[in-house]
Chains A and B, each alone.
Chain A
Amino acid sequence: MAEHKEKNFISAVVYLNNAQDAVVPFFRTLNERLDARFEQYELIAVDDRCTDDTVGLLKEWAKDLKKPLTIIHMSLYQGVEIAMNAGLDCSIGDYVYEFDCPQAPWPWQMVDDAYDTAMKGSDIVSVCPDTQRVSSKLFYKVFNANSRSAYQLRTDAFRLVSRRAINRVHAVSARLPYRKAAYAASGLKMSDLLFKGTVSKQNEGRFGLAIDSLALYTDAGYKASLGLTGAMLVLALAELMYTLAVYLGGAPIEGWTTTMFVLTAGFAGLFALFAIALKYLCLILEFTFKRQTNLIEGIEKIQK
């Protein structure tokens, strides 16, 4: 049978954070799927500081595994993006599956479908639920409206990316604070596959990520500051007109309240601009000086 299997080397990276009930069934099915289709593949589990028995159960299951399983132990809880980046850095496949959680609300056939879609020329294939939560919808709406990329983002359950796409996004920037947006901005072909259902609520810390992503991958910040500048300009013009009117009308010392109003409003706008500039400065600082992007405690290789 081996000669019918796909020759591309596949990596599957799975994020784990206290998922002891889900981990073994997920890996078992994933492994069966990959084994049926691919001649060579590797499994990578990113243990984002699990405090339950997730890792123990996984290791127990992996005892009879024929293919290599790498477990990356994060030093401290760092959230899905940083942890998955570590998994991605560790992967060696021509194509890499990214599973942000060990749950499959999608039919397993989608794993194969994603690969087929990739073979048709998509470097990034996102498998997405057809219904999104309200907050996600709002975020993606703002994001897509301001995004510089050719593709629209939406909530996704897992994705398949090519090595080419990974190399491309790393050429653009060493860090990927938000993988999905980085892929979309890579300029390579991206496809969405839809399935009926939703994905479970992601972990906390998504709000900060949302703000960072908007600042990094969209021009929302620039637009906001432009809007504020515009508003202040209008305000300044209005004040000019008012001053003119007062001058022409010959009315005396009446402007105390208005002056105060303009001053405070002007300063408020200025401060808002500072806030935006600060946000950018923060990001620049992080990119330039925080070279160690993730903290890893150890890497375990389990293979026959």
Chain B
Amino acid sequence: MIYDKIILGAGLYGLYSAERCGARGEKILVLERDATPFRRATYINQARVHQGYHYPRSYSTAIKSAKYFDRFCKDYDFCLLKDFDQVYATSAQFSWTDADEFRKFCAAAKIRCDSVDPEKYFQPGLCDGAFLTTEYTYDAEMLKKYLLDKLALLPNVEIAYSHKPESIKQAGSVWQVKAGDITAEAPFLLNATYAGVNDVHQMMGFEPFKIKYELCEMILCTVSPAFKDVGITVMDGPFFSIMPFGRTGLHSMSAVTFTPHNTSYEPVATFDCQAHSGGLCKPGDLYNCNDCPAKPESAWPYMSRLARKYLREEYGFEYHSSLFSMKPILKASEIDDSRPTVVRKFTAEPTFVSVLSGKINTVYDLDEVLDNG
């Protein structure tokens, strides 16, 4: 079959691209190795629609985030949870940024930052500043349903689940992709596989993105009534965050010191646990960590202790479940904490583009390459 574009990965970036191009009549094939869409990073993350607060050490990322924030909120308003108090706090100890810095940063990035008494939320002495901010959380399930409904109206867009590309070859001016029973060709190939990005590069013989991999756990919690409409993020140092998880009624919890269970610095994700995955996962062929039989034990005892140390008793939370995912982090950005979107065009005629972004609302970075090739 000949298509206009073949897209690898049915996460938000893949399906957004399929919808955008499909809507103007292009013939699109989406290949997804998992059995359903949105099974990895799009679902398994904090569901934060970034306004930029997260990056007090990188102004450029913050300003870009703020710009896309408005657009994302307009386009996907239906899946957002907006009416909760998103509290950012600076830890009194072990932090590289403090309350004054944060205030200055927000003023420069022109984003909301209203001081509140840290002791309203935190144990005395642990945070030197707390701020009410505007930040939303999206519901991945609702977003998925919306995109699938839109795509269902486009007969020119096909999505093949449980199809993992086995070979990708150039045949003249098109890419020829083999995935199970499908052999497809297109002059444009988009690699939107996130943590699998370098797996595809390796298969095609392209230079890998310079990334490290972190096997991360996100814990879903039920919370006490006082916590229901509150999201907490303690920045830097002993970073942790507990905030509403879309419109699910649950809160997501993560903590930097305990969330990454393991780190790999190889070009393709290489972990000890792969040996115990029963052949499902290996370097260059990354399986879904959340579905994997070799996923690590939960860090709940540690994460919960860290959060309880900071939070006042009335902000209670209990374990609901754990979600695991592989997070690729661009190495060059390690120092200034920014996680920009990388959209790199490796070849033209046929076109091969890889995208890597850690944030949901920077999906618009794809527009240019999708529209102009």
Contacts and interface: CB of A to CB of B under 8 A. Distances in A.
Interface of A: 9, 39-40, 42, 68, 86, 89-90, 92-94, 163, 167, 170-171, 174, 293, 296, 299, 301
Given A89-B94, A92-B309, A299-B94, A170 B302 contact: no
A174 B92 contact: yes
B309 A163 contact: yes
B123 interface: yes
Contacts of B123: 167, 170
Interface of B: 92-94, 123-126, 238, 257-258, 301-302, 305-306, 309
A170 B92 CA distance: 11
A174 B126 CA distance: 9
Contacts of B92: 174
B124 A167 contact: yes
Nearest to B126: A170
B284 to A, nearest CB: 25
Given A174-B92, A296-B94, A301-B257, A40 B305 contact: yes
B302 A68 contact: yes
A229 B31 CA distance: 89
B312 to A, nearest CB: 10
A68 B305 CA distance: 13
A170 B123 CA distance: 9
B125 A92 contact: no
Contacts of A40: 301-302, 305
9 contacts: A39-B301, A40-B301, A68-B258, A68-B302, A92-B305, A167-B125, A170-B124, A170-B125, A174-B125
Contacts of A92: 302, 305-306, 309
Q: Shortest 10 CB-CB distances between A and B: which pairs? A: A170-B125, A171-B124, A89-B93, A40-B301, A92-B305, A9-B305, A92-B306, A92-B309, A167-B123, A170-B124
A293 B305 CA distance: 24
A299 B239 CA distance: 13
Given A92-B306, A94-B305, A301-B257, A171 B125 contact: yes
Contacts of A301: 257
Nearest to A296: B94
Interface of A is mostly: mixed
Contacts of A296: 94
Contacts of B125: 167, 170-171, 174
Contacts of A68: 258, 302
A210 to B, nearest CB: 25
A90 B126 CA distance: 11
Contacts of A93: 305
A86 B123 CA distance: 17
Contacts of B93: 86, 89-90, 293
A171 B127 CA distance: 12
Contacts of B301: 9, 39-40
B65 to A, nearest CB: 27
Nearest to B238: A90
Nearest to A10: B305
A183 to B, nearest CB: 14
A299 B124 CA distance: 23
Contacts of A299: 94
Nearest to B306: A92
Nearest to A173: B125
A42 B302 contact: yes
A231 to B, nearest CB: 41
Nearest to B93: A89
A39 B291 CA distance: 27
Nearest to B303: A92
Contacts of B302: 40, 42, 68, 92
Contacts of B124: 167, 170-171
Contacts of B305: 9, 40, 92-94
Contacts of B238: 90
Nearest to A40: B301
A218 B272 CA distance: 57
A172 to B, nearest CB: 8
A155 B257 CA distance: 35
Contacts of B309: 92, 163
Given A90-B238, A171-B124, 17 more contacts: A39-B301, A68-B258, A68-B302, A89-B94, A90-B93, A92-B305, A92-B306, A92-B309, A93-B305, A167-B123, A167-B124, A167-B125, A170-B123, A170-B125, A174-B125, A293-B93, A301-B257
A42 B255 CA distance: 16
B42 to A, nearest CB: 28
A167 B125 CA distance: 8
Contacts of A167: 123-125
A13 B19 CA distance: 55
B150 to A, nearest CB: 44
A34 B124 CA distance: 29
A301 B302 CA distance: 13
A196 B3 CA distance: 84
A252 B207 CA distance: 107
